[in-house]
Structure 1
């Protein structure tokens, strides 16, 4: 059976709000639409400067995989673009097919992932339509968002912290059957109840970035922010930064947001952030944050606003900003980092680290409990989506290109099986209480 988004009886039933029994009465298609990469195109960008992801991301039909006992099939109503989608599509720092080949050596469950195509995407929201024989807590008809932390529950390391498992993977990046498709395949321990007041596209856009920021700032494995902490947030209107500002403010901290334009400064102020630094207005010249005195100049700008140095620096930009981050953190302060989007090799003056007793904390992803906790905050209306743009599945390449070229703020979503924006709200009364002005701030700007 070959189906498309418009001719699939199961998707039609999902859209119509069918219950679990009705969904089970509809056949699971053998093929479905998906945004995917092709293994035979791994060398596509060799020697090229502009590695345009619109050339490598294809949307077409792929085969439905066999379901393992601990897995579920989810009809994806909407998904989101993350920077790992861009890395996947430019085949850097290594082609993701290398991850799939490695996974494929673990047995039949892994071998299903080692294919000549890779269905990408690490954020999604949708409806469970099938469950494996070993799944107990989820059933067809459940509305869910998906945690991209793919953890083997038989690995002993996962019982202390899922991210300490040697076999932990990023779903849709290091595994196949990701979220940018009409269907995805996930482990049951990736499922989280969808916040009832959000649309599909809003719900799909949160988990990866919001939970990453939660672990970095709030969780026991990160900076363990407390009330009154001054927190410097780089890239405060980006996917990570836009949630970091909210988490700091919601937790009683004092966010100091760094942005690159007055338009972005106005946006982060509208989120309730009082202290904003437009780094283009700092006297740094062409060297920018790599200026030898950048840390001193930035530190003075922070103290003018809040009267003290930051106790926590929220870092994910890497090479361009890391030296300044180490410098500006207060004595005994923490620099928590989860990435290096401007380069992996950092340079900083180590005297300012050891002589002032500062700490660098490496943070990667988040565990299942942290993903659930941050979605609880979203469901309570304490943290809001930062969705700025929505594309149809057919234009996934364009959506990823916007993120690749940094022509966005907040998050970019993709409609998959959902027929239009604005669908999926189950609790309109809660939505009204929270307010459209909070939920659609990034869309309106």
Structure 2
């Protein structure tokens, strides 16, 4: 660990941080451009072979950016996509972005530093940064926007310059340092550890926009909400948002272990996929309807109603069922397709029953701050199942790739161990360790 990162870890003053030198290189999890074809013709695209950890050059800081010493990060599914070089190699994003100008050109490198979550300490600010200073404890929004684009001021997610940080841009959060625009910054909840805090922005913010925001499903009290993959990183936050908002969460999971974890989170109805009888490639129309009828019967038996909202990110394996099972006038809101992007569904159930389909992607900065406020209030909890050191990013990524995890998989970067970063222990004690660790898991 270099002296600047060590000083940030131990709470150095803004003046001391500014006096210490920024290192020329830093440790980062990354992919390499020469590995793009490594999985051609290979069925199991094991990300342990492609996610590498090593020194990379420190980039120059733009006027509207900050440099964060990253204490902890987490694995999102876009890290798996990056590591498999699918659906397209992310180096194509970096190359296209690099053509836009001087500051963008920094991103076009033969390596790609990954990671769309980060919790850490600001150690440098660009000359155009006004509201933040070295020493501030922050989180990073997973979305970078162009604040000089007009539509950004209506909704940052609609801007042409909107990009997934650490996926469509370089210098992401799975590293000792990260380059972040000031317009991505979120204050870190003082009662959380570094790894707990780092597990929240991408998934909690995305679930908030999908369910609560005016741009999403506009969930109200009493809504029955079907949540696919409810024990995953997105699902655990969706479950809590539904419960806290007075809705009735109905979670679908793939194992009894995950079902039990979801019950501990307070999910009202938990359904094992085996009860519905679906696989990962259910596209035959008659089978889709049959599975939908089985699922609908279970939901009506447990809640008395069909779902008002379906929280969808699984994609090909579930989308036809989602469109069938949501009630007349109901909403399917989708933010991804982890089992495949090409969906087949019977469009009659959409138009003849006046259902709505909403596409949603991450969250704008205001939505990120709103979801973070709920976390800061102790209403929504971080849900970590395990934490890996940065040097084992391959194993962490593989766990998510194989869907063997529950909730979020954390990654320690500069922080040497779990449990660091709490600056309001009184608030933490008031909320309670048992609530802050709803899965009851311990460090690896």
TM range (shorter): over 0.9
Distance 1:128 1:257 in 2: 38
2:433 is aligned with 1:436:
yes
Partner of 1:331: 328
Among residues 107, 116, 121, which one is paired with 1:122 in the alignment?
116
Q: Deviations over 1:20-71 (max 9, x none)?
A: 1111111111111011111111111111111111111111111111110000
1: CA distance between counterparts of 2:297 and 2:273?
13
TM-score (norm 1): 0.96
CA distance in 1, matches of 2:9, 2:210: 36
The 2-side partners of 1:378 and 1:352 are apart by 37
Matches for 1:137-286 after TM superposition, within 5 Å: 137-282=131-276
| Two-structure CA RMSD over aligned residues (Å) | 1.4
Q: CA deviation at 1:370?
A: 0.6
- Pairing 1:20-35 to 2, within 5 Å after superposition: 20-35=14-29
Partner of 1:74: 68
Distance 1:107 1:312 in 2: 43
Conserved? CA contact 2:28–2:53, under 8 Å: yes
1:99 maps to which of 88, 93, 109: 93
Task: Give 3-state SS (helix, strand or coil) of 1:179's partner.
Answer: coil
| CA deviation vs aligned residue, 1:286-326 (integer Å, no higher than 9, x gap) | 98796340111110000000000011000001111111111
Match of 1:111 in 2: 105
Q: 1:372 — aligned with what?
A: 369
Partner residue of 1:309 out of 306, 309, 317 = 306
- Alignment match of 2:398 (pick from 398, 401, 407): 401
Q: TM-score, normalised by structure 2?
A: 0.97
Q: Indicate conservation of the 8 Å contact 2:310/2:326, yes or no.
A: yes
Corresponding position of 1:421: 418
Partner of 1:382: 379
More displaced stretch, 129-138 vs 431-440: 431-440
Q: Distance in 2 between matches of 1:56 and 1:276?
A: 36
2:90 and 2:167 in contact (8 A); partners too: yes
Distance 1:288 1:266, change over 3 A: farther
Distance 1:283 1:34, change over 3 A: closer
1:376 positional shift: 0.8
Report the CA distance shift for 1:283/1:130 in structure 2 as closer, same or farther (over 3 A): closer
| CA drift at 1:444 | 2.1
Question: 1:217, 1:225 within 8 Å by CA — same for their partners in 2?
Answer: yes
Indicate the SS of the match to 1:441.
Answer: coil
In the alignment, structure 2 segments of 5+ residues that lack a partner are none
Q: Which runs of 5+ in 1 are unaligned?
A: none
Tell me the number of residue pairs that the alignment of Structure 1 and Structure 2 aligns: 439
